[in-house]
Amino acid sequence: MTDDAGPAARLESGRALTYTSWLRSLSNPELTALFAARPDLMAPVPAGIAALAARATSKPTVLRALDQLDRFGLQVLEGLLALGDPRFSGTPEGTRREELAVALGVPCDALDAPLGQLRTTALVWDDAGLLRPIAILRDILVEPAALGPPVTALIGALPLDRLNRLAADLGLPTGYADGAPAERIGADLTRPGRIEELLAVAGDAARPVLDRMAWGPAHGSVSNAQRETSLATAVSPIDRLLALGLIIGTDDHTVALPREVALHLRDGRLFSPTEAEPPPVSGPIVDAALATRAAAGQVFTVLRSLEELLDAWTADPPGVLRNGGLGVRDLKRAAHLMDTDEAGAALLMETARAGGLIAPGSEVDGEWLPTVEYDVWRACDPARRWLWLVGAWLRSPRAAGLGRGKDARGRSRNVLGEGLDRRFAPEVRLDVLAALSSAPAGCAPDPETVSARLAWLRPRRQGAAFDELVRDTLTEAETLGLTGRFVLAPFAVTVAAEATADSFASAPSGAADSVTAARLAAELPVPLDHFLLQGDLTAVAPGPLVPALARELALAADVESTGGATVYRFSAASVRRALDAGRGAEELVELLERHSRTPLPQPLRYLVADVARQHGRLRVGTASSYLRCDDPAVLSELLSDRRATDLGLFGLAPTVVASRASRPILLDRLGELGYHPVPEAVDGSVQISHPQARRSVGRAAGSELAGPPVPGPELRMAAVRALRAGDEAETAVRHPVDTPGSEPPRSPTATTLAVLSAAARAGGRVWIGYLDSEGIASSSIVEPASVDGGYLTAYDATKAAVRRFAVHRITGVSPLDSEPAR
Amino acid sequence: MSCLIVQSDKTLLLEVDHESADECRRAIAPFAELERAPEHVHTYRVTPLALWNARAAGHDAEQVVDAFLTYSRYPVPHSLLVDIAETMGRYGRLKLLAHPVHGLALQAVDQAVLEEVVRAKKIKPMLGERVETDTVLVHPSERGNLKQALLKLGWPAEDLAGYVDGEAHPIDLAQDGWELRGYQREAAESFDAGGSGVVVLPCGAGKTIVGAAAMAMTKATTLILVTNTVSVHQWRSELLRRTSLTEDEIGEYSGTRKEIRPVTIATYQVMAARRKGVYTHLELFEARDWGLVVYDEVHLLPAPIFRMTADLQARRRLGLTATLVREDGREGDVFSLIGPKRYDTPWKEMEQQGWIAPADCVEVRVNLTESERLAYATAEPEDRYRFCSSTATKTTLVRELVARHPDERVLVIGSYIDQLDEVAAALDAPVIKGETRIKERERLFDAFRSGELNTLVVSKVANFSIDLPEAAVAIQISGSFGSRQEEAQRLGRVLRPKSDGRTARFYAVVARDTLDQDYAAHRQRFLAEQGYAYRIVDAHDVLSGNEI
């Protein structure tokens, strides 16, 4: 539905202002602001202002815009609709700001913010001081301020004989002699002071009926609501009210209270009360320092346990279920590994997926693997790593908490699987963070007060699912360390603003000058470069180690327990692992001595030497699968070892033995037999084996789950320019032109072509909106190379590739390097 | 900077060199088990059992959380604190008490818990009639089993049913020329306050005296269960020396003699002996109205005695051990049937206070000869350990080691009789093994104590409870596979404080690159975790005369 028919309105231009012409009269910054507030309007970019007007007033996008309004904004809008739409058809006539302020019972200035927002989102437009809501709102907000339809609308639906009787009872002429009876009655009922008179006629007995309907609902159930009544025959108060038109039957069982009557009964007030201010968030006060410490501790725990999990997955990845999720058993195992519960584990996994740290390996083997991004993530410092995760969490539509329930068809949902998307989840998370930050210092907000505040902020989003999401968000914030003991940590105050900044999408670890990262880094334990070695062959790092040292130590010793500290245990196998990775015994001892705060225990030194002595004593070849050893006794020992018969060993020389078994089997079995051979390269040197970390090449997650990406300011500005250009083209066609009829009329496509050709010639960049063959809208910045055969060949800067675009699919175009003519 | 670090697996790391370490240790000791005590960082573990013990001893969750917050260097994960509070909250929802009318009864503070428990399959048969909505009768014989089963369910019952006093019998400590050491008194008092429980003290720290002190506090007839006959005699002589008890008051109940006196000392072996599938000596438990049952070396308690102990829940029980590690992992049963740990202290601390001798542990690695290696590789799997641990090379080495300690009493300890005989022949020293008669054993031990005999070769019969105060050097030539407690017990042989304050020496002779070495590593881990770090030397260094 549009608020005016395009061409017809244009013919009248110069007379009454229409929605379209109001839109056209907006300045470029205002249009940009409109696109920023309602990004769905520019996907794809409308061809012109008329198209924009049509789209801006279509129901789905208006619903989306309404969802953004807080309770006061909604009350203002409902007020405008209630007051400014007496005819109940066509474009609402609008109302004045002063009237609205009186009806809402707030000072005029208080309306600045909500009206500004309504105007920015183009839900309300102004016409010579009148604030006019768009007409589609009438169908969406059916009972604004719990008010019924205006009296005109109600009466208009009545049959003629009923109208005549009503006119008679009101003392008006009947029939069509003096114009349409409905209009006459309507005019009479809305006459100032008239309702007061009629109420007096109806009598006190009728008052309770009206009072019950005054504050809504505006409809009531009455048997035989369309009964034949007149003042003369009325027996009950309902009869009298019906006879006087103070309530009007809409069908057999329902009566409605006309809007004007209700407003009169309410003394002209729209709401009781008008909720201009959000309810405060409150709760018990806790020790702020302790809370911050708890949050920082949780941050530390999250980073450590996630790293632990993904390193474990590197070696032993869990399978991807058919529905794309993770099995319950794998979830349990992960929770156990991370020393957390399943909800916590699910959240971390979903967050890792959203942050692009894990992805399904490939279609064939279907395993969840860390991605190459994970290596980038791991190289960041802890504060950045956390920022990466939290940024992903804030923007992810995945609600991990849903994983524990079942879907509408009773199938259980799986973590990382289908059915865990909630489009409004990112919005709820930002709102919850904002609510938390509005709490007084050190206050651990009561979840109910947070819910109440969100109910005010998003009145149209309420429901069980929303409440659940709010509750989950509070727990998740605690789990991720945004809050400690449910108090928003000081370092987390700025995170919402940073994570939603446009630059964040391209830099997942946050901007270089991130305040959050700096504040958080100050709270996290400083990485240590030392540990304590003990006689029981353990090393205790009494805090997080610097990454390089942690890696070296983890190579030479097994991690036994983690937490604030890390306990490593040395064993022959772990030392051998370090030697296998190319570390020398001397080097290892030197490393331990350098970083240990305590003297190197003799047994450990001996262990390293002993393993080094054995290490590489036997060498295994690939080409012919052979064994050789400088010590003939070892080989003869091996040859006579009855456990090795399955290897098909046979001696070649005193120091060389060949095998029929393949090299890996040989290596394995000899290791089992306790010989610990090393593999040998072709040239006879020792081959160093690195356990190859497995990585997925899968794309970062989240993008296909999210709605259309919110375009950045540059794109928004370009969209406005394209819109202007399109509109200019559109309007130019309809104007009488001087060129003879033989000239083909210029169309938006022609404009597009002209701009593209010009750009191709001049070598400039243009912004284009494009609908691909599947109808998916996208926008790109391209450098046109040539335009021919209905195709544009251009270098796409966003994809860094030369692409071809079908010209007829280009929805809009705008040169980027120059300001468009206005 | 504080001294405690909380790990996510609920272990606590305590930096012992930190200035507030002592204070912190005291704060966490009630609810955390000391797991490892090497030189620098001690590991405590917070287990549900430990938390419930803390509750039983009157500590609450608030106190535990407070200790964490006060001493932890890093913030403690919230979930851990919640978990601790929840776990502690489970204790005492159920109470075992003596009902004035019906006798032993299980009473619930929380109705839901009782409903869960009475429906549990394993528990149902132990319970009797439900006399009130919150009270169920318990068959008195099932008291121990019920407690054990409830513990497994995670709803430990608070046992308020009390103990029978038993037949009173006057016992006093005869402190003439000696007195209770501070820790012995603490241990005995802690036991007396708790009623039942386990005292963990290192070998040589005088566990027998703690037993005697406990008896003197209980002043009732006592049944003492020990590992073997020699130990029976040692207990007997120790009790005669330390208490007012006379010869006539102490009975011996062993394979050879069956006396039942106010204080009766019995061996596990006799108690667990069966004839035609029947435990013939079970009646000993019923023979008198025992007021106290003492279990020596409780870590060795055999399974049948466990079952019998379940029936003895109304009597006071004292467990004594140096090492509460059981190779069968039944530590939990010890806790629920004998009682919670009442006293424990790191060995090294005792050493610092001079109550046990400092010890120097050395592992000597010998190489198998080439022909031995070949034979080892071809040996049947079941013979491999025996083969490598009794290699002939060890005999040469033992001779060298004994020669290094000419003026000291040396014990050579091994598991394989052939090997012991061989070593004994090489050293020209007597052997004590399973077949050696008790009299002969005691004669040899006496000769060793008095100094007539400088070298003694013993099999595992001498693992426990043999008091050889002057033994200063022990050479272990083979062990029972990877048994940790055996290693500790053997070290214990040389830990009695020496008259001249000498350092004891403990050698473990191990064959390199064999199963022997793997098992040795496993055994030594326990001692290393008690703070006894090993040094490792090569046999050829020893044989070529280098300083060890």
Residue B251, classed as helix, strand or coil, is strand
Residue with tokens 């070396």: B297
Same-domain check for residues B415 and B467: yes
Model pLDDT, residue A12: 42
Domain assignment present for B170: no
Does A253 score more than 60 pLDDT?
Answer: yes
Name the phi and psi angles at A812, rounded to 5.
-170, 155
Residue A103, classed as helix, strand or coil, is helix
What is the per-residue burial (b if ≥16 Cβ within 10 Å, else e) of B511-539? bbbbbbbbbbbebbbbbbbbbbbbebbbb
Does A120 score more than 60 pLDDT?
Answer: yes
Does A114 score more than 50 pLDDT?
Answer: yes
User: Is A236 near chain B, with CB under 8 Å?
Assistant: no
ipTM: 0.83
Q: Which helix (H) or strand (E) holds B151?
A: helix B143-153
Model pLDDT, residue A435: 92
Same-domain check for residues B331 and B380: no
By Cβ distance, the residue of A564, A637, A638 closest to B5 is A564
Same-domain check for residues B339 and B413: no
Domain assignment present for B516: yes
Same-domain check for residues B364 and B512: yes
Q: Which residues in chain B have Cβ-Cβ distances shorter than 8 Å to A637?
A: 373-374, 377
Same-domain check for residues B83 and B133: no
- The closest alpha carbon to A561, from A542, A577, A534, belongs to A542
Q: Which helix (H) or strand (E) holds B417?
A: helix B417-427
- The closest alpha carbon to A722, from A123, A41, A124, belongs to A41
- Topology of A713-815 in CATH? SH3 type barrels. (2.30.30)
Q: Which helix (H) or strand (E) holds A138?
A: helix A136-140
Does A208 score more than 90 pLDDT?
Answer: no
Q: Which of B3, B4, B8, B370 to mutate to test the interface with A (most CBs of A within 10 A)?
A: B8
User: Is A561 near chain B, with CB under 8 Å?
Assistant: yes
Same-domain check for residues B359 and B335: no
Same-domain check for residues B325 and B262: yes
Same-domain check for residues B279 and B358: no
The share of chain A scoring above pLDDT 90, in percent, equals 19
Q: What is the pLDDT of residues A276-295, one digit of tens each?
A: 889 999 988 888 888 888 88
Q: Which residues in chain B have Cβ-Cβ distances shorter than 8 Å to A602?
A: 533-536
Same-domain check for residues B217 and B306: yes
Domain assignment present for B331: yes
Q: Which amino acid is at B393?
A: T
| Alpha-helical segments (H) within A629-747 | 632-640, 663-672, 713-734
pLDDT confidence of A819, banded at 50, 70, 90? very low
Q: What is the mean pLDDT of chain A?
A: 82
- Separation CA A153–CA A182 (nearest Å): 9
- Separation CA A138–CA A84 (nearest Å): 11
The share of chain A scoring above pLDDT 70, in percent, equals 90
Q: What is the pLDDT of residues A415-438, one digit of tens each?
A: 888 888 888 889 899 999 999 998
Contact A676, A576 (CB under 8 A): yes
- Separation CA A494–CA A258 (nearest Å): 50
Give the tokens for residue B260.
């039942």
- Separation CA B49–CA A712 (nearest Å): 58
CA distance B534 to chain A (A): 6
Give the tokens for residue A77.
């809008």
Cα B329 to the center of its chain, rounded Å: 13
Residue B123 DSSP code? T
**CA distances (Å), B513 to each of A674, B388, B521, in order?**
8, 9, 12
- Separation CA B321–CA B201 (nearest Å): 6
By Cβ distance, the residue of A339, A536, A565 closest to B5 is A565
Which of B297, B316, B345 is where one domain is finished? B345
Cα A255 to the center of its chain, rounded Å: 44
Query: A324 in the Ramachandran plot: left (φ > 0), alpha (ψ -120 to 50) or beta?
Result: left
CA distance B497 to chain A (A): 23
Q: Which helix (H) or strand (E) holds A168?
A: helix A160-169
Q: Which helix (H) or strand (E) holds A295?
A: helix A288-315
Verify whether the Cβ–Cβ distance B74 to A297 is below 8 Å: yes
Domain assignment present for B174: no
Domain assignment present for B316: yes
A269-298 residues touching B, CB cutoff 8 A: 290, 293-294, 296-298
Verify whether the Cβ–Cβ distance A640 to B370 is below 8 Å: no
- Separation CA B211–CA A691 (nearest Å): 56
Q: Classify burial at B282, counting beta carbons within 10 Å of its beta carbon; exposed 0-12, middle 13-18, buried 19 or more.
A: middle
Model pLDDT, residue A77: 92
Residue A271 DSSP code? -
Strand-pair category, A766-771 with A777-788: antiparallel
- Separation CA B485–CA B334 (nearest Å): 15
Which of B328, B345, B362 is where one domain is finished? B345
Model pLDDT, residue A705: 46
- Separation CA B495–CA B355 (nearest Å): 9
A702 vs B257, residue with greater confidence: B257
Give the tokens for residue A739.
């060129």
Does A174 score more than 50 pLDDT?
Answer: yes
CATH number belonging to domain A619-679? 3.30.70
Verify whether the Cβ–Cβ distance A564 to B6 is below 8 Å: yes
Model pLDDT, residue B69: 82
Same-domain check for residues B80 and B126: no
Does A687 score more than 80 pLDDT?
Answer: no
Q: Which residues in chain B have Cβ-Cβ distances shorter than 8 Å to A598?
A: 39-40
Domain assignment present for B548: no
By Cβ distance, the residue of A298, A338, A633 closest to B370 is A633
Domain boundaries, chain A: 151-265, 288-523, 532-614, 619-679, 713-815
Range of the domain at B390: 354-543
Preceding omega of A273 cis (within 30 degrees of 0): yes
Q: Which residues in chain A have Cβ-Cβ distances shorter than 8 Å to B74?
A: 297, 300, 525, 543, 563-564
Contact A146, A216 (CB under 8 A): yes
**CA distances (Å), A519 to each of A133, A270, A515, A528, B455, in order?**
46, 47, 6, 19, 69
Domain assignment present for B173: no
Number of residues in chain A = 822
* Percent helix, percent strand, percent coil in chain A, to nearest 5: 50, 15, 40
Q: What is the pLDDT of residues A350-384, one digit of tens each?
A: 999 999 999 988 766 688 999 999 988 988 888 89
Q: What is the pLDDT of residues A516-537, one digit of tens each?
A: 888 888 888 888 899 999 988 9
Q: How many CB atoms lie within 10 A of CB B247?
A: 8
Q: Which amino acid is at B87?
A: T
Which of B89, B115, B140 is where one domain is finished? B89
pLDDT confidence of A703, banded at 50, 70, 90? very low
What is the per-residue burial (b if ≥16 Cβ within 10 Å, else e) of A647-665? bebeeeeeeebbbebebee
Domain assignment present for B273: yes
Model pLDDT, residue A473: 93
Q: What does B12-64 look like in DSSP terms, one character per residue?
A: EEEETTSTTHHHHHHHHTTT-EEEE--SSEEEEE--HHHHHHHHHTT--HHHH
Q: What does A342-353 look like in DSSP terms, one character per residue?
A: HHHHHHHHHHHH
Contact A84, A132 (CB under 8 A): yes
User: Is A598 near chain B, with CB under 8 Å?
Assistant: yes
Q: CB pairs below 8 Å between A and B: how many?
A: 124
Does A818 score more than 60 pLDDT?
Answer: no
Model pLDDT, residue A472: 92
pLDDT in tens, chain B (548 residues): 688 998 888 899 999 888 888 889 888 888 888 888 888 899 998 888 888 888 877 888 888 888 888 898 887 877 788 889 899 999 888 888 888 888 888 988 888 888 888 888 888 888 888 888 888 988 877 888 888 888 888 888 888 877 788 888 999 988 888 888 888 998 998 888 877 888 988 877 888 899 999 999 999 999 999 888 888 888 998 899 899 999 999 999 988 888 889 999 998 888 888 888 777 777 777 778 888 999 988 888 877 777 777 777 788 899 998 776 666 767 777 777 788 788 877 777 788 888 888 888 999 999 888 888 888 888 888 888 888 888 888 998 999 999 999 888 899 999 888 899 999 999 999 998 888 888 888 898 889 888 888 899 998 877 765 677 778 899 999 887 777 777 877 888 888 777 777 888 999 999 988 888 888 888 888 788 878 878 889 988 888 877 77
How many Å from the N-terminal Cα to the C-terminal Cα in chain A? 28
Angle (CA) A760-A765-A770 rounded to 5° is 90
Q: How many CB atoms lie within 10 A of CB A821?
A: 8
Give the tokens for residue A451.
């819910």
Question: Which residues sit opposite B108 in a β-bridge?
Answer: B94
Model pLDDT, residue A736: 40
- Separation CA B209–CA B231 (nearest Å): 14
Verify whether the Cβ–Cβ distance B38 to A485 is below 8 Å: no
Model pLDDT, residue B224: 93
Lowest-confidence segment of A544-553, A593-602, A663-672 by average pLDDT: A663-672
- Separation CA A625–CA A33 (nearest Å): 72
Radius of gyration for the alpha carbons in chain B, expressed in angstroms and rounded:
25
Does A41 score more than 80 pLDDT?
Answer: yes
Model pLDDT, residue A744: 40
Model pLDDT, residue A698: 58
CA distance B375 to chain A (A): 8
Domain total in chain B: 4
Q: What is the pLDDT of residues A469-497, one digit of tens each?
A: 999 999 999 999 999 888 999 998 888 88
Residue B284, classed as helix, strand or coil, is helix
Sign (positive/negative) of CA torsion A719, A721, A727, A730?
A: negative
Same-domain check for residues B239 and B384: no
Give the tokens for residue A711.
């375009």
Same-domain check for residues B202 and B336: yes
- Separation CA B362–CA B507 (nearest Å): 5
Question: Which residues sit opposite A778 in a β-bridge?
Answer: A770
Angle (CA) B448-B451-B455 rounded to 5° is 50
- Separation CA A287–CA A441 (nearest Å): 10
- Separation CA B147–CA B149 (nearest Å): 5
Q: Which amino acid is at A484?
A: G
CA distance A359 to chain B (A): 27
Does A594 score more than 90 pLDDT?
Answer: yes
